[in-house]
């Protein structure tokens, strides 16, 4: 994967770019001035991030797999250590499908009824391949979402969910929190000695 250099990334116009960011030259960005990238972020080929004025906020140690998209006028936050598998679609805006309004971003707003709602993906959450996240969804810390799931409601922490629409399957292990502590201690020690 051919990626931008850190110098190129700083010149692209992002609101903020952290350290050790790897972004494919084949990814696309719109509203780039409203996109914040933390440290150790990787965005793969053919991803599309389209931010409205409320912004897209990507934390630390995050991977966004190929062909994924984050689109909409509402704020979208990806918290530390979350993982977005390939072909995941996250929306913070949605047309009105009722037939009472017209649907298209090419129309004046007086003819449409677009809903705009914040989306938040919690720390240590993982979204399986092909999942769709709709506006207003808050996925709390530690959730695992199965492949091809439709997430149309907010999810409680440390659950495994799957389906269309998504349903609770079982509790997710919190063992990874011990690994996070070990990882943090190792990195703290490394930064003190460097």
Contact of 49 with 68, CB cutoff 8 Å = no
Residue 192 predicted with pLDDT over 90: no
Query: pLDDT band for position 187 (50/70/90)?
Result: confident
**173 within some domain:** yes
Dump pLDDT digits (tens) for 166-186: 999 999 999 999 999 999 998
Dump pLDDT digits (tens) for 140-161: 999 999 999 999 999 999 999 9
Element (H, E) at 180: helix 176-193
- Average pLDDT, whole number, for the chain? 96
Element (H, E) at 6: helix 6-11
Identify the pLDDT of residue 191. 56
Q: How far apart are CA 9 and CA 42, in angstroms?
A: 12
**1 within some domain:** no
Tell me how many domains the chain contains: 1
Spatial neighbors of 52 by CB under 8 A, at least 6 apart, are 31, 34, 72, 73, 74, 92, 93, 116
**104 within some domain:** yes
Predicted TM-score (pTM) of this structure? 0.95
Dump pLDDT digits (tens) for 59-106: 999 999 999 999 999 999 999 999 999 999 999 999 999 999 999 999
Domain of residue 138 covers 6-193
- Report the percentage of the chain scoring pLDDT > 90: 94
Residue 139 predicted with pLDDT over 50: yes
**172 within some domain:** yes
167-171 and 159-162 strand pairing: antiparallel
Residue 193 predicted with pLDDT over 90: no
Check which CATH number belongs to the domain holding 72 and give it: 2.160.10.10
Query: pLDDT band for position 194 (50/70/90)?
Result: very low
């Amino acid at each position: 994967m051919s990626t931008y250099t850190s110098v190129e990334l700083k010149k692209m116009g992002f609101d903020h770019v952290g350290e050790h960011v790897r972004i494919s030259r084949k990814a696309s960005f719109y509203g780039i001035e409203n996109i914040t990238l933390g440290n150790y972020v990787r965005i793969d080929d053919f991803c599309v991030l389209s931010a409205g004025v409320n912004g897209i906020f990507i934390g630390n140690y995050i991977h966004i797999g190929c062909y994924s998209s984050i689109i909409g006028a509402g704020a979208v936050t990806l918290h530390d250590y979350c993982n977005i598998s390939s072909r995941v679609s996250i929306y913070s805006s949605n047309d009105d499908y009722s037939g009472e309004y017209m649907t298209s971003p090419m129309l004046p707003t007086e003819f449409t009824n677009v809903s705009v709602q914040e989306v938040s993906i919690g720390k240590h959450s993982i979204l399986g391949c092909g999942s769709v996240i709709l506006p207003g969804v808050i996925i709390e810390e530690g959730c695992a979402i199965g492949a091809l799931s439709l997430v149309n409601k907010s999810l409680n922490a440390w659950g495994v969910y799957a389906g269309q629409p998504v349903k609770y399957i079982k509790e997710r292990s919190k063992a990874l929190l011990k690994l996070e502590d070990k990882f943090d201690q190792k990195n703290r020690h490394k930064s003190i000695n460097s």
